[in-house]
Structure 1
């Protein structure tokens, strides 16, 4: 899993208890996973179909830098399933894990699913070409 981007936890990201609001982290996960999937498929006409198991493991607080690790889990004909791990940059503790995030490639005009044209093997080769 590659950790590709980071965010700073700001005051407006906090809940009443002073820790990172769960809804905010889910918003970030959806956005980061979309960017990752769009880059993997070289396509921007994707929609989020499903987000599976979500596990909150520890809290983040104002001033913490969180980083997003993403990886391809499964490649379908019209879909791509990714996993996202959010961790504290400094401590490396997992904050949240979102598994089975499914994106579907759609035709922009008809809004119906269409094949994205990538295979698991092509995405595996892409991983080998990308430096850690």
Structure 2
């Protein structure tokens, strides 16, 4: 799994139990997978269609540094399915996993549009062409 983003858990990210609010973490994940899909599919019109079961395995507290990892599960005709793991950067303890997150590529009419992608592409490789 490639870990792309780190977040520092701050006071405004906490719930009444003084641990990371799950909704805040899900917002971070949704943004991160959207950015990943936008870059992979080379289209800024990408939306979240589905998230599978979300498994909270441990918590994070103020001051923790967490990192979000994303891997591609599969390329569909109009979609990109990803999986995600969030872990504590210092301890590597898993905080959360999501087995599948489906992102859909949209056309100018806001309807699903084929993206013609079949494998992960890295920006550095695109720049060589």
* 1:49 matched to 2:49: yes
Name whichever structure is richer in helix by fraction: 1
Instruction: Kindly provide the CA deviation profile for residues 68-127 of structure 1, in whole angstroms up to 9, marking residues without a partner as x.
Output: 11000011000000001000000000101112100000113x1100101101xx32xx36
Instruction: Kindly provide the CA deviation profile for residues 19-57 of structure 1, in whole angstroms up to 9, marking residues without a partner as x.
Output: 000111110110011111111222211000001111000
Residue 37 of structure 1 aligns to a residue in which SS? helix
Residue 44 of structure 2 aligns to a residue in which SS? coil
* Cα distance between partner residues in 1 of 2:35 and 2:85: 15
Aligned to 2:111: 112
* Cα distance between partner residues in 2 of 1:41 and 1:111: 15
Aligned to 1:89: 89
* Cα distance between partner residues in 1 of 2:17 and 2:99: 26
Residue 66 of structure 1 aligns to a residue in which SS? strand
* Cα distance between partner residues in 2 of 1:35 and 1:114: 18
Matches within 5 A, 1:15-54: 15-54=15-54
TM-score by length of 2: 0.91
Runs of 4+ in 1 over 6 A off after TM superposition: none
Aligned to 1:79: 79
Aligned to 2:69: 69
Aligned pairs, number: 124
